[in-house]
Structures are given as structure tokens and as C-alpha cells.
Amino acid sequence: MSKLVLVTGSSRGIGAASAIRLASAGYDVCVNYVRDVDAANKVVEEIESRGKRALAIQADLSQEEQVQALFEQMDDHFGAVYGLVNNAGILFKQMRVEEMSAERINAVLTTNVTAYFLCAREAIKRMSLNRGGCGGVIVNMSSAAAKTGSAGEYVDYAASKGAIDTMTIGLAKEVAAQGIRVNAVRPGFIYTDMHRDGGEPGRVDRLKGSLPMKRGGTVEEVAAAVAWLVSEESSYTTGSFIDVSGGR
């Protein structure tokens, strides 16, 4: 039977591309989404067309009880989970810190940080050797913003991704002896709908000239890095980062 990977926030963008790439590599995939069931079902269809099992499960991962319900539903449908791709995230309109409300900051941190911890917790309970699991792998979606800070645009988002970098390092050390590897991917200027969420759909084209490679990246290029970290080809890699950022 194929190994199962949960990809959070996988109804669009990097998450969808990662889910489809993993299916092409031979994994069954659980597709998590918050609102767009039609988009999630299209990803499921793409996975099934590759001969793999798939299921779309709605869950707001900022809510602890919904995270628990997601994993329980996945247990019932698939059985043991092998991989978790922590990808779900939010971004709000470009804004300086002096204008940000506590509501905005807390929403970003809850969805982009707390949800990653909650999903990792549930995955570890199922993967950990000392709990009867068979090991596994966690891939966290960070961002080049963790290193640049995104001044004048999304310092709250950048800070949330900085937290994910630290989480990746600490968690990798914590669970390595339990057969679980933890790594992260840091995308840079990638053509996704997230820039529209931030109020500037054309942001990548505006900024690509500042990159050494002089172009934006694709979701497929990010998905390739995710798939490698999930695979056995990266079996001696943990606590590491792959920058998919055009040299940024």
C-alpha cells in the first residue's frame, strides 16, 4: 500500500502543486482546505488520475478541535500517516507595522505558526517509534521572508515564517531518534494567488529584477523541493532548509 501524505492548504498554489507532485511520485494524499471545496476536489481528481488514493477534508487548522478531527478522519479513511506538509498560511494586505492591529497579527500567527505546531503534534503522535509508529517526515513551508523581514509590506508574515524556521530546527532535534525527519522549504517570489491576497497581484513581476536569476519561480519548482524532502532520497537530511528563491 502507498504511503500517505497530508498536505495542508492544498486546494491551490504551492499546496496543490505539492499534492499533485507527491501523487506522481507514488504517494496517496490527503488534501486539506478551508473554503474552496470545488478547488480541493479538482486536486483530488488530479491525484486519482495518477492512480493514487485521495480525499479532501475541510478544516480550519487554527482551531485545535478541527485539527484533531482532521487527523481522526484521515486515520479512519487511510490508516497510518507517513508525511505531513505544513503548507497552509495566510497573508494580509501590505502594511507597515505601525498600522497593524492586534487582530491581524494574532490571525497571522495563529494560522501560520500555531496551526503548524498542532498538525506536527498530531502527526508525531502517529509517526513516533515510541508510540508504535513507523517514523515519518514533516516538511514545513517557510519563506525567504524569514530572512529578509519584508519591511514595509508583511513584517507579521515574515515573523511567522521566522518562527517556522526555529520550529523546524528544534523539532528536528526533538524527534530524530523517533524516526521522524523535519525540514523546511523557503520559497521566494513565486507566482501564486497569495500576492493577490496581499493586495498586489503583480508583485513578483515588480520585484523579479532584484533577483540574481531575474525571474519569478513557479509552484512546480517549490513542489519539487517538497517532494525530495518527503522522499527516501533525503533520508539523512533533517533540520535543513531548501531555498527556492532565485538566489535571493
Catalytic-role residue among 33, 82, 157, 191? 157
Please answer whether residues 75 and 133 qualify as being in contact, where contact means their C-beta atoms are separated by less than 8 angstroms: no
Please answer whether residues 180 and 239 qualify as being in contact, where contact means their C-beta atoms are separated by less than 8 angstroms: no
33 is catalytic: no
Sequence-distant (≥ 6) Cβ neighbours of residue 206 within 8 angstroms: 200
Q: Give the number of residues written for the chain.
A: 248
Distance of CA 18 to the CA centre of its chain: 9
What sign does the CA torsion over 206, 243, 164, 39 have? positive
With CA atoms as reference, report the closest residue to 123 among 163, 161, 178.
Answer: 178
Cα-Cα-Cα-Cα torsion 28, 33, 39, 43, nearest 10 degrees, comes to: -10
Number of Cβ atoms within 10 Å of the Cβ of 235: 9
Please list the active-site residues.
157
